[in-house]
Amino acid sequence: MKNPYGNKGGQVAQRAMFLSILILPFLVGCGTIQLADSSDDREAKKFKVDSNSSSLYVYRNQVFYGICPTEVIIDDNVQGQTGVNHFLQIDLKPGLHILGIQFKKNESCAPSGSTQYTDYVEIRTEPGKIYYAWIETHWAGSPGPPFMTRLVDASTGQEAIKSCRLAKTVNP
């Protein structure tokens, strides 16, 4: 029987496979992100803080560079990693802190070569207050850095975090 689509059926299948290979990294999260227990996730989403300490939520909710983890560093100490739709909740002593976000692009997460980028934000925290930092990612090939870290207000941070999963911290 003759193919009613002629030779185009094979071309369509090839294009579909090519597109699926291109978008697959954006549809899957990073398998190396260690997730916290679901009970810890629910507790963190209550957004409570002890009156003697401060709390920092660092989240990433965009799919660009989807499988590339970002390392979260506070005052030169690694706290954990975030990926697409993940967040970290970090308790801090009130005072001045340096939040560092380190992005390491490599062949396993972005085939265009290896680069490293670190962004820093200074945060002065107060007792009993919660702070929110958004890791805003950009398309590969867009001008500027692959991501920027921005402090956001409570309603913006809490709304975004509702759709994210809590990642484990290295230094709880």
Three-state DSSP class for residue 82: strand
pLDDT at 56 over 90: yes
pLDDT at 21 over 50: no
Output the pLDDT for position 137.
75
Percent share of the chain, pLDDT over 90: 51
Rounded to the nearest integer, the mean pLDDT of the chain is 80
Q: How confident is the model at residue 103 (pLDDT cuts 50, 70, 90)?
A: confident
Q: Are 27 and 67 in contact (CB under 8 A)?
A: no
pLDDT at 38 over 60: yes
**Token digits of residue 79:** 């706290």
Tell me which range, 111-115, 137-141, 165-169, is most confidently predicted by mean pLDDT. Answer: 165-169
12 CB-near residues (< 8 Å, 6+ apart): 5
Output the pLDDT for position 152.
97
45 burial (CB, 10 Å; 0-12 / 13-18 / 19+) is: middle
Helix (H) or strand (E) holding 43: helix 38-44
Output the pLDDT for position 11.
61
Output the pLDDT for position 19.
43
Output the pLDDT for position 161.
97
Could you tell me the residue ranges of all domains in the chain? 8-166
Number of H helices, E strands in the chain: 3, 9
**Angle, vertex CA 166, rays to CA 153 and CA 30, nearest 5:** 110
**Token digits of residue 125:** 């925290």
Range with the poorest average pLDDT among 19-33, 37-51, 81-95: 19-33
pLDDT at 162 over 80: yes
pLDDT, average across residues 48-67: 86
